[in-house]
Amino acid sequence: MSKDTILVAEDLSKHYSIPLGAFKEPATLKALNSTSFTLSRRKTLAVVGESGCGKTTLAQLVAMINQPTLGSLKIAEQEIVGADKTALKALRSRVQIVFQNPYGSLNPRQKIGAALMEPLRMNTKLGKAECRKRAYAMLDQVGLRPEHFDRYPHMFSGGQRQRIAIARALMLEPEILVLDEPVSALDVSIQAQVLNLLAELQDKHDLAYLFITHDLSVVKHTADEVMVMYLGKAVEHRPAKDLFDSPQHPYTRALLSATPIPVPGAKKERVHLEGEIPSPIDPPAGCYFHPRCPLCFESCRSEVPLPQPCGDGMVACHAITQPEKLSDTA
């Protein structure tokens, strides 16, 4: 494990109990199911997948908004699972989150300067003058001007509000930034500006990014690694260049085929998936993806595919790890 590794997740799971009525046993919804990964300083891990795949649940666990049901989550070699309130409070300053909606993540009645100083007032013993000084410095780092300090959120554009949200997240000098769909609510031209800003801040502060998104095109040139999730499970986790150049899992191929190519006249083969995502309360036996998979064979219907090495990453797919069986069904 690299000395720059700041976060280690092993078999991380989050389950919810869902009531089904007065005379029925509650059902178990496995929002996240045995997911493992590491996160290093100055690196970006993108977590992608359709709605309901578990990526936002994962973001909430890493940000310590919720506690895992099973597994291990270590930040700077300190275990989160089962930690007491004092330990969690100390660790929360090391992980901050930037939410999707810059319109909803800021208090409309609070001036921007006060919003930036609030984390310092609540978590440090710094005086008002020092808090104010740091807030002005952070405004400058995210490309905003000193006069913005005394303005309210409604006076800013969406891109500016997201810059403010990023600035607020950095006030406590965290080591990990969880970015939950940070540019999906912004115009395409503004998305590029915010992504460039995040890259600059990552280099400046040695930040590790956990980048949650449903749009692979957003992270193609910004992520170091990509983890593709389906129904709470990681199905492929590889270096970004390898995954984009040679996707292995059929679900990854389908996601990439649906990603627009920003080249006039360029064409690519579209992979069409049949059916809908199964219910996470009652997932199918075997591989969760098999009812929609064009490569499905008998093992897929009965055996859960385990993560297997694939270059510098992993893939969980019988069709990839047992190609001889796939050829038998052709």
Could you tell me if 133 and 163 lie in one domain?
yes
Q: Is the pLDDT of residue 238 over 70?
A: yes
Could you tell me if 179 and 159 lie in one domain?
no
Which band of pLDDT confidence, cut at 50, 70 and 90, is reported for residue 90? Answer: confident
Could you tell me if 195 and 261 lie in one domain?
yes
Residue 58: burial class (beta carbons within 10 Å; 0-12, 13-18, 19+)? buried
Q: Is the pLDDT of residue 318 over 90?
A: yes
Query: Looking at the domain assignment, is residue 256 inside a domain?
Result: yes
Could you tell me if 140 and 184 lie in one domain?
no
Mean pLDDT across the stretch 238-258? 93
Q: Return the higher-pLDDT residue of 3 and 129.
A: 129
Which band of pLDDT confidence, cut at 50, 70 and 90, is reported for residue 6? Answer: very high
Q: Is the pLDDT of residue 313 over 80?
A: yes
DSSP state of 15: E
Question: How far apart are alpha carbons 163 and 206 in whole angstroms?
Answer: 18
Question: Which residues have CB under 8 Å from 23's CB, separation 6+?
Answer: none
Backbone angles phi, psi at 154, to 5 degrees: -65, -10
Q: Is the pLDDT of residue 329 over 60?
A: no
Query: Looking at the domain assignment, is residue 66 inside a domain?
Result: yes
Q: At which of 146, 169, 192 does a domain end?
A: 169
Contacts 24+ apart (CB under 8 A), 281-286: 281/18, 281/27, 281/28, 281/29, 282/27, 283/30, 283/231
Query: Looking at the domain assignment, is residue 328 inside a domain?
Result: no
Q: What is the DSSP string of 83-115?
A: --HHHHHHHHTTEEEE-S-TTTSS-TTS-HHHH
Query: How many of the other CB atoms lie within 10 Å of CB of 217?
Result: 16
Query: Looking at the domain assignment, is residue 128 inside a domain?
Result: yes
Q: Which residues pair with 14 in a beta bridge?
A: 32
Could you tell me if 11 and 58 lie in one domain?
yes
Could you tell me if 61 and 189 lie in one domain?
yes
pLDDT in tens, 253-307: 999 987 766 555 556 666 778 778 888 888 999 999 999 998 899 999 999 999 9
- In this predicted structure, what is the pLDDT of residue 217? 87
Query: How many of the other CB atoms lie within 10 Å of CB of 102?
Result: 25
Query: Looking at the domain assignment, is residue 287 inside a domain?
Result: no
For 14, the token pair is 């989050």
Could you tell me if 197 and 265 lie in one domain?
yes
Domain that holds residue 159: 108-169
Reported as type and span, the H/E element at residue 252 is: helix 250-257
Tokens 């009645």 belong to residue: 109
Question: What's the distance, CA 194 to chain centroid?
Answer: 16
Q: At which of 250, 270, 290 does a domain end?
A: 270
Query: Looking at the domain assignment, is residue 302 inside a domain?
Result: no
Mean pLDDT of the chain: 90
Could you tell me if 220 and 262 lie in one domain?
yes
The count of structural domains within the chain is 2
Could you tell me if 151 and 256 lie in one domain?
no
Reported as type and span, the H/E element at residue 39 is: strand 27-40
Question: What's the distance, CA 217 to chain centroid?
Answer: 15
Say what the pTM is. 0.92
* Contact (Cβ atoms closer than 8 angstroms) between residue 212 and residue 183: no
| Alpha carbon distances (Å) from 109 to 83, 112, 147, 325 | 35, 10, 17, 62
Backbone angles phi, psi at 31, to 5 degrees: -65, -30
Output the domain CATH number for residue 40.
3.40.50.300
The closest of 31, 29, 9, 12 to 20, measured between CA atoms, is: 29
- In this predicted structure, what is the pLDDT of residue 269? 67
Q: Return the higher-pLDDT residue of 324 and 170.
A: 170
Question: How far apart are alpha carbons 27 and 143 in whole angstroms?
Answer: 48
Query: Looking at the domain assignment, is residue 49 inside a domain?
Result: yes
* Contact (Cβ atoms closer than 8 angstroms) between residue 18 and residue 27: yes
Query: How many of the other CB atoms lie within 10 Å of CB of 68?
Result: 23
pLDDT in tens, 13-53: 999 998 888 788 888 999 999 999 999 999 999 999 988 89
Q: At which of 121, 149, 169 does a domain end?
A: 169
For 87, the token pair is 């330990």
Question: How far apart are alpha carbons 199 and 311 in whole angstroms?
Answer: 26
Could you tell me if 263 and 237 lie in one domain?
yes
Q: Return the higher-pLDDT residue of 324 and 71.
A: 71
pLDDT in tens, 113-158: 999 999 999 998 999 999 999 999 999 999 999 999 999 999 999 9
Query: Looking at the domain assignment, is residue 58 inside a domain?
Result: yes
Could you tell me if 183 and 143 lie in one domain?
no
pLDDT in tens, 182-227: 998 888 889 999 999 999 999 999 999 999 998 888 888 899 999 9
To the nearest 10 degrees (0 to 180), the angle between helices 128-141 and 158-170 is 130
Could you tell me if 181 and 72 lie in one domain?
yes
